Amino acid sequence: MFSKPIFKQTFKANFKLWLIFTVIMTLLHIALIAVFDQSTIIDMSGMVKDTPLANLLGEATFLGMLASTFYGIHGVLLPIVFIIMTANSLIASQVDRGSMAYLLSTPTKRSTVVRTQATYLIASLIIMFLIITLVGLSSIQIFQGDVDINEKDYLMLNLGLFLLMFATSGISFFFSCVFNLSKNSLAWGAGIPMAFFLLHLMGDVDSSLEGLKYVSMNTLFDTHAILNGGNYAVQFAALAVIGIVLYVLGIRVFKQKDLPL
């Protein structure tokens, strides 16, 4: 079911990549929290008034600006890149290089290998977003202590972003399990998440293209509903289900498919 030696090896092999992305995202999050004050928000809103960027910036509040920047662009794109690189390296890349054949030549079962790799990817995202959230809460107290901020909304933004990345990782992991070649795994495991990101971004920037974002899974992470007391529980549940189903399917496919061993 789970192999500690394989998990430890996977952790060591991917730690530097995980650390780089976690540090970059955390520092960027701190910077955005520190920069945004009421005067900055008003100035930015005035600068982009009557332009397509007005839709992208959204609400002229502290959390509204964070939702439009970090939770709409930076905090989505950076973990997507991490997920794409990591998911491919966990399964497809090892099959492509032949190292998976060596691993499976031991008494270790396929199911144990693939479940362990899935566990690593999910755990790495959980820890990444826990660090970002905790550092973010501390940064808000330091830089925005005099501003009334709804901490529940902030925590829900982080939970929603994690669930979106969990579902996205399910896509990349699934295709890493399906294909034996890295180029095919990356074509689908990177292409679909990046397409979702771009479609959602285009729909936010240009109101005439708003319909595009409803083709994207990213629309299920509805920051507007979170910040305005709307219903987002169904969307959160849908992201969780998408991620679980894709991981289960990926594990099943890998266990049953022919491998070039």
User: What local confidence, expressed as pLDDT, does residue 73 receive?
Assistant: 93
Q: What is the mean pLDDT of residues 7-19?
A: 96
Could you give the percent of the chain with pLDDT greater than 70?
91
Q: Which of 3-17, 18-32, 88-102, 218-232 has the lowest mean pLDDT?
A: 88-102
User: What local confidence, expressed as pLDDT, does residue 188 receive?
Assistant: 97
Residue in the structure block whose two tokens are 């990101």? 197
Q: What is the mean pLDDT of residues 51-69?
A: 72
User: What local confidence, expressed as pLDDT, does residue 49 receive?
Assistant: 58
User: What local confidence, expressed as pLDDT, does residue 43 receive?
Assistant: 62
Query: pLDDT tens across 157-212, in order?
Result: 999 999 999 999 999 999 999 999 999 999 999 999 999 999 999 888 777 777 88
The amino acid occupying position 85 is M
User: What local confidence, expressed as pLDDT, does residue 50 receive?
Assistant: 57
pLDDT band for 107, please (50, 70, 90 cuts): confident
Buried b (16+ CB within 10 A) or exposed e, 81-120: ebbbbbbbbbbbbbbbeeebeebbeeeeebeebbbbbbbb
pTM beyond 0.75 = yes
Chain-centroid distance of CA 11 in Å reads 19
Residue 120: CA atoms inside 13 Å, Cβ hemisphere, count? 28
User: What local confidence, expressed as pLDDT, does residue 261 receive?
Assistant: 62
Average confidence score pLDDT of the chain: 90
C-beta separation of 63 from 148 below 8 A: no
Q: How many angstroms separate the CA atoms of 26 and 110, rounded?
A: 35
Q: What secondary structure does DSSP assign to 119-136, as a single string? A: HHHHHHHHHHHHHHHHHH
pLDDT band for 56, please (50, 70, 90 cuts): low
pLDDT band for 139, please (50, 70, 90 cuts): very high
Q: How many helices (H) and strands (E) does the chain have?
A: 12, 0
C-beta separation of 197 from 80 below 8 A: yes
